[in-house]
A and B are shown apart, each in its own frame.
Chain A
Amino acid sequence: MMALVPGLNKGKNQTKLIIFIAVVMVIIVLLSSLGLINQYIQSVIMSICINIIFASSLNIVNGYMGEFSCGHAGFMAVGAYVSSVLSLIFFTENKFIGNPLFPPQTALFLFPVVIIAGGIAAALAGLLVAIPSFKTRDDYLAIITIASNYIITTAINNISAIGASRGLMGMKSTMFAMNDVLPLPWMLIWIMVFAVICVIAIKRLMGSVLGKGISAIRYDEISAEIMSVNTNQMKLLAFMFSSGLAGIAGGLFAHMLGFINPGSFNIMKSTEGMVMVYLGGMGSLSGSVLSAIFFTFLLELLRPLQILKWVFIPLLLILLMQFRPEGLMGNREILDVLPKLKLFNRGGKGNGKSA
């Protein structure tokens, strides 16, 4: 039960795993640029990767730290909007400053900068939750997170410069600009790269001393404080890191769709994230990754049900809470469940097939 996150085995095994993931990614990219994978499957792969970032970042707060954040989509909105506006200003004819700031060909190198800027902005928005979290906990913190989600979406709704409730579009042209330089499925590449980087970053953080401090808060905050864990600092770190990664997911989401509006980051989106986290298991990174894959497929399957989909998903979560509250993996990593995967790496993550 008390199996904490196994530390990452540095060295050869990790290199092996990364090489394996890289090979899988190259194969996917080659297949899609040759047109063997159609647009729909590409978009499903992209959604899977975005959901992986979203779910595993939420897992930092909801799983590892054991707090209850249910307004995660708000940070996604911040990241999406900031990176979209930057991308419009940088590379396209826009209504903000007129001509593009840089020649559109530079999108190839500046795109990650735009996305990471969105992530940083979202991390700053995470302060909105992190600072009240020093004093308040569980129930009240849940309220604060939901309030922050509402505050962000209604604030966006009131800013007419970025389209208010009508939404913002035109991010696709950044992708087209990249395509003009080199005809590759750039969006797919960037999303997969970011997903891998984010998962590895979370893994490394949680295996470190800081990450152990965050986990200590889950077991007993007061004891952790007594044992010289600086809980305020840990909360700040967890909230900001988690919201920053959500912002990166939001930026990628915006560039994938090419259109965003505040309605797509409402409490429903946060619920999707929560479903993924609790389905995978609290404090299990591979669980989050697996459940993000499973859940995205489920959403695609349920698409014909339209509104009934939103009856089905909460029902799924309720049943989960009743019969298996610990989720699929339940605080264990995939290697504890299937030790055979250790041929790739020992004590690391075994989600090589995910990206």
Chain B
Amino acid sequence: MWTTILQNIFNALQWGSFYSMIALGYCLVYGVLRLINFAHGDIFMAACYFAFFIATALLLKIVGGGWLVFALTLVFTMLVTALLGITIERVAYRPLRRKGVNRLYVVITALMVGFILENGNLAILGASALRFPDILDKQIWQIGPLTITNLKVLVIIAAFVVFGILQFIVHKTTLGMAMQAISYDKFAIPLMGIPVNRVITFTFALGSSLAAVAGILFGMSYPVLDPYMGMIIGWKAFIAAVVGGIGNIKGAFIGGFILGFIEIFIAAFFPSSFKDLVSFIILLIILVLKPTGFFGVARSTKI
């Protein structure tokens, strides 16, 4: 009994790490632009595919696997995914922002970009699921009754490292200050000489590369890729961001783990098809009770 619970705690930590990493990306973009980037889940999906192609290319060139291939794949995937994020922002969101249209239109556009990524992928690569290559050799450690794989530990460590780096960037660097400033007041900041568009581009690059880290690790943990994988995970990560209070980095990080724990423990004790149902119902309840999430700050409306 205790063994299963401990094992499940470990699984939940791993599962929550994925949610946290994706939720952080949502959170960054929302914090700066006040825009729910609905395409983020599909950027994560695209990152998985990029990682697949880069890893297979590298693995074909350099025989075997190991940490070198992992590092190279990680770097390249982050670069390519950041480019994808920047492109989406440039092509779809920026013209709308320039025109200063209703925020609703930007949200719809984001949703549609997600659909294009999913179905474009399906149209180009076909419906057959791809298998992610084994980059690292799997090591299984037995600690008493627990089985721990090196991948699980890697994922959990990666989530915390990403969170630390992000906290550092946002709170300690000039760019991070600029991001916070834009989030605070969009109209006065350009007058202070801060290049708003450049900061927003950087935000998208950062959020997308976080999705890339999550994508490559997800591909290594669950090696079957399919074009619609980003949809449901993206939604769940978004729920995590909302649970934590959207626009708050710490909240998103903790929210991801909360959701991970809830899902894993529900799947452990109930039929697994209840998982989605329960997490969406939790979202509804939280939004009704605390519309700003656990760590969010209520904004007052000026009349």
Instruction: Give every chain B residue within 8 A of A150 (Cβ-Cβ).
Output: 235, 276, 280
| Most chain A CB neighbours (cut-off 10 Å) among B101, B274, B283, B303 | B283
Contact of B123 among A138, A146, A147, A311 (CB under 8 A): A311
How many angstroms between the C-alpha atoms of A314 and B42 in the bound complex? 14
Partner of B280, one of A68, A147, A222, A278: A147
Asked whether B58 is an interface residue with its Cβ less than 8 Å from the other chain, the reply is no
- List A contacts of B284 (CB < 8 A): 128, 132, 144, 147-148, 151
Which residue of A132, A158, A322 contacts B274 across the interface (Cβ within 8 Å)? A158
Cα A271 to Cα B107 with chains together (Å): 13
Decide: A140 and B115 in contact? CB cutoff 8 A: no
B120 contact set on A, CB distance < 8 A: 311
By beta carbon, the residue of chain B nearest A158 is B273
- Size of chain A's interface in residues, with CB distance under 8 A? 39
Q: Does B291 contact A (CB under 8 A)?
A: yes
The secondary-structure label for the interface of chain B is: helix
Kindly state the separation between the CA atoms of A334 and B120 in the bound complex, as whole angstroms.
36
**Count of CB-CB pairs between chains A and B under 8 Å:** 106
Q: Is the CB of B273 within 8 A of A154?
A: yes
CB distance from B33 to the nearest CB of A (A): 11
- Whether B139 is near chain A, meaning CB under 8 Å from some CB there, is no
A70→B115 CA distance, assembly (Å): 14
Instruction: Decide if B184 is an interface residue (CB 8 Å cutoff).
Output: no
Q: Is there an interface contact between A151 and B280, defined as CB atoms closer than 8 Å?
A: yes
- What are the interface flags for A303-314 relative to B under an 8 Å C-beta threshold, 1 for contact and 0 otherwise? 000011011011
Name the distance in Å between A139's Cβ and chain B's nearest Cβ.
Answer: 5
A143/B112 contact (C-beta < 8 A), A154-B273, A310-B119, A325-B102 known: no
Q: How large is the interface on B (under 10, 10 to 19, 20 to 34, 35 or more residues)?
A: 35 or more
Q: How far is the CA of A321 from the CA of B164 in the complex (A)?
A: 38
| Beta-carbon nearest neighbor of A314 in chain B | B112
Interchain CB contact under 8 A, B273 and A142: no
Task: Give the distance to chain A from B29, nearest Cβ to Cβ, in Å.
Answer: 12
- A155-B277, A321-B108 given; A314·B115 CB < 8 A: yes
Q: Which residues of A contact B113 (CB under 8 A)?
A: 314, 318
Main secondary structure of the interface of A (DSSP, over half): helix
A278→B276 contact, CB < 8 A? no
- Point out the residues of chain A lying under 8 angstroms from B271, CB to CB: 158
A132 to B122, CA, bound (A): 35
User: How far, in Å, is A100 (CB) from chain B's closest CB?
Assistant: 32
Contact B119 A154 (CB under 8 A): no
Residue of B nearest to A268 (CB): B115
- The yes or no answer to B142 lying at the interface (CB within 8 A) is no
The chain A residues found within 8 Å of chain B, CB to CB, are 68, 70, 128, 131-132, 135-136, 138-140, 142-144, 146-148, 150-151, 154-155, 157-158, 222, 268, 271, 274, 278, 307-308, 310-311, 313-315, 317-318, 321-322, 325
Other 15 A-B pairs with CB < 8 A, given A158-B271, A268-B115: A136-B287, A136-B288, A142-B36, A147-B280, A147-B284, A151-B281, A158-B273, A271-B112, A274-B108, A307-B123, A314-B111, A317-B109, A317-B112, A322-B96, A322-B109
